[in-house]
Structure 1
Amino acid sequence: MSTDGSAVAERSTASRERDREPVLYEITESGVAVVTLNQPERMNAWGQPMMSAFYRYFEAAEADPAVRVIVLTGNGRAFCAGADMGGLNSISSTTVESASKTDVGALVAEKHPYFLTQLLKPVIVAINGSVAGIGLSLALMADVRFAAAGAKFTTAFARRGLVAEYGISWILPRLIGWGAATDLLLSGRTFLAEEAAELGLVKEVVAREQLLDRALAYADDIARNCAPSSLAVMKRQLYADAGLPIVETSNKAEQLMHESMTRPDFIEGITAFFEKRPPNFPPLTAETAQTAHD
């Protein structure tokens, strides 16, 4: 009995230690990596040690052939409330001189948010609660967004004496149009998930308790039915072609289409369609990964 008790205690301790980790990571059976920001007491504010764990897990998911889609979410009442600016005491004592010495690069550490657009695998975000500042920049650089009903959004920059940071002035107009992006950036106002959906900022608004299940079901469908090679190349097309003329984009697409038809993924996709069965696509190969990056 004491042995059983010790085992239970060990599992309980391991569980508590895991719960204290700044970012949680798991992989589902279908190949969906779930990355969860896990500092709810700080509203998942962007800072260390959360940043390092976040980058580490995304690099692991990108490198793992078993992972086909990545889902990002947060624990608690916030997805990410922006940069961690320190405690109230340090904020109240900040001066122009001390603020000017702030290492801005440290706010993003290793990478700018646009690194999500450079990944070969789709990134789906489940915005579980409040999102602001760099948290919003990260969410917008993902590929698809779901949001919990009533979740609060804000760019916040203008109301903090800051500017549109880390590429948000590039991605926001492309997602919702120039006029709406100008409104959200210049006013810095708070708006809800329901308005975000109307603007096209998020795909769907879901009841909070159903949010992660909905995002995982969407990711699972992609993981089971879409070719990793197609996903990798199409992500590159979406973001790399955004500033190119239509003729150049179309010519590039023709070349990429010819290349895709030489891969076994194409044969499997067509065969599965005619046989009326789910496809069995192979993991992403180094060759296809290189094609996507070229």
Structure 2
Amino acid sequence: MPKRYKLRGASLDAIREKALTQYGPQARIVAAEKVINPGIVGLFAAARFEATVEVGEAAGIAPAALASGPAAPRASTGKTAANPIAGHDLQGPAIAALLERADAAEREMHRPDPVSTASPDFAGLLEHLGKELEARPALHTVPEPSLPPSDAPNEKVPAPLEGNGNVILLVGLGDDALGPALEMSIAAGGSDVRTAGELTAFGHLHVSGRQSAMAARAQAVLTGQNVVVAYGLGKASDIPEQAHAIAGLSADQVWVVADARRKAGDTAAWVRALQTLLSTEPVGVSALAVIGASETASPETVDGLGIPVGWVDGKPARRTSLGKVH
């Protein structure tokens, strides 16, 4: 059974290095928070970070780690999946996301009291949003045919929706969608990142259906944010039963998350199966988010999916296909 330990440091990078030294490469950060000491009338003020590190049962623990002791388990607001997806060591954008979450905790101290979801105003907003969604016509995004670079100088690269109250859905195998969801949130200055489907993540609320998605949308309207939902399909064989659930979330924008390191044929099979099933629903795939493009010699294989690329390895794409980016 994995064990958890509490580590402190001046920065998340320092804690990450300490975790690697004390617990080995199997250690991963699962939670972090920024602790501020206001000092005396502003004097001697200081800030530090505290993180919870999870170490697998098979991981060897250095003697120095024994002094730290296991950290008390933290409560999670998300659901626990029956078949949890294996996590990844938090690096790069994910570390930045944890830092953003720690800063958000500090801002929370000065935020006015939240609007109660039990109030008549909140219920009225939910009802109003529900009527708007029912009246909204079904929109299907048909990708434009690929053109050579010289013929498409003004091509429009897809981008996450701006504004507030929008539901942006990222769909991928396993936990592939979580990284891009966190990255899009950071790029937008902070969004309400949630999980759905077979994917759960520590510290993120889980969207379980239409009503849950509507509540998230309404809350985002009140807070001036968008909702970014990372949807885990689980395995490719689970797609048929997931398509209806995806459509039920009534997302304003749907992204497919493809791993460029996987075999092109395998990726094309599940993406086309998903598109076929969604073609009978009032929702369509708008854009492609690509991960692992910098870790393969042939990232342009995802161009064969026929979906315009809008996000690549943590950043907005410059062109609609990787053959033109690299």
Q: Hey, which of these two has a bigger chunk of helix by percent? A: 1
TM-score normalised by structure 1 residue count = 0.23
Q: Hey, which of these two has a bigger chunk of strand by percent? A: 2
TM-score normalised by structure 2 residue count = 0.21
